[in-house]
Amino acid sequence: MADTRLHWGAEALWEALEPLLPGLSVEVVASLPSTNTTLIERARADHADVLDTEAAGVRRSVESSAFGRRSVDWQPCLLVAEEQTAGRGRLGRSWHAEPLASLSFSLALPLAPRDWSGLSLAVGLAIADALEPPQPGAAPRLLLKWPNDLWLRDAAGADGAPGRKLGGILIETVAAGARRLVVVGVGLNVAAPRGLRAAEASTGVAALQELDPAARPPQVLARLARPLVEALLRFEREGLAPCLAGYAARDLLRDLPVSTTRADAPEGTARGIADDGSLRLQTPAGELRLHSGEVSVRPRRPALAGRAAC
């Protein structure tokens, strides 16, 4: 039987990232319910006495069906699952990541920014810029849908829709005393999911292979991993401010009519993001600021929602 496992180069990833994240380990496993859930559960394990002892030693990289680390973990970790069977997205949405067709990973690291506002926007921008470097004078095809989705702009528009969903970001934190561990989960469609009908795949779900036919999950991860780590460390130092111009250039919703789940503002027109990462929504009653976690915002145009989460 042919070997269908992907080859991720975990050691090379570790060598590229460990200078930025001392103590990092990189793990690749065949299947998990959720990479985010796994790292959150490790951090919440009630064994704080081993966190800074020799018992907390790790293997720096591993590609196997079993984990290479202890069950208790507050050190940086990049955890990749070729298949996710119970992936989670924002507001409890679920997503099943298909082997070979998806990239699903979570990165856990201690982080202490002065202000957490807009972290998902900074993460999305780092991923988009890594996968499609900005070209002066050219309109980007990778767009960011507030607050945590990546979309692909269609080359010639589809039924007036602004694009199709390519991936999603899920950010969670765990606190222990004065410490806080952030878990950044990313799910990206690399190839068109096999479980969708052709019509659905052509109108609602985007894949990176539309931009780069040679894209494969390991190569995509290698391309974006270091820019993602650098963006997180920069966010810790400088906050969202360095990302505002870049985000504006990729803002999917800007000047579009949108619908929201907020009772006092069910509809409006998106006017970009504010300095704190909130969405500026123009309504008949004036401008409102919508914050991540309050609402689900969607373009009021016919577009299938896509499937990507963490």
pLDDT in tens, 20-35: 999 999 999 999 999 9
Beta-bridge partners for 83: 31
Contact 105, 186 (CB under 8 A): yes
CA distance 305 to 303: 6
* Type and span of the H or E element at 198: helix 198-203
**pLDDT number for residue 72:** 54
DSSP 1-53: ---------HHHHHHHHTTTSTT-EEEEEEEES-HHHHHHHHHHSS-GGGTTS
Class of domain 10-249: alpha beta
What is the CATH T-level fold of the domain 257-299, as seen in this structure? SH3 type barrels. (2.30.30)
CA distance 68 to 236: 28
CA distance 8 to 13: 8
Neighbour-count burial of 237, counting CB atoms closer than 10 A to its CB (0-12 exposed, 13-18 middle, 19+ buried): exposed
Contact 220, 129 (CB under 8 A): no
Q: What letter does residue 205 receive in the DSSP assignment?
A: B
**Can you give the residue ranges of every domain in the chain?**
10-249, 257-299
More confident residue, 159 or 43: 43
CA distance 167 to 152: 9
Say if residue 181's pLDDT is above 90.
yes
**pLDDT number for residue 266:** 86
Q: What is the pLDDT of residues 52-84, one digit of tens each?
A: 433 334 456 666 544 445 445 678 999 999 988
Q: What is the pLDDT of residues 96-131, one digit of tens each?
A: 556 689 999 999 999 999 999 999 999 999 999 999
- Map residue 65 onto helix, strand or coil: coil
Say if residue 49's pLDDT is above 70.
no
Q: What is the pLDDT of residues 249-299, one digit of tens each?
A: 999 999 999 988 888 888 899 999 999 999 999 999 899 999 866 676 666
CA distance 76 to 56: 12
Contact 144, 125 (CB under 8 A): yes
Confidence of residue 216 (pLDDT cuts 50, 70, 90): very high
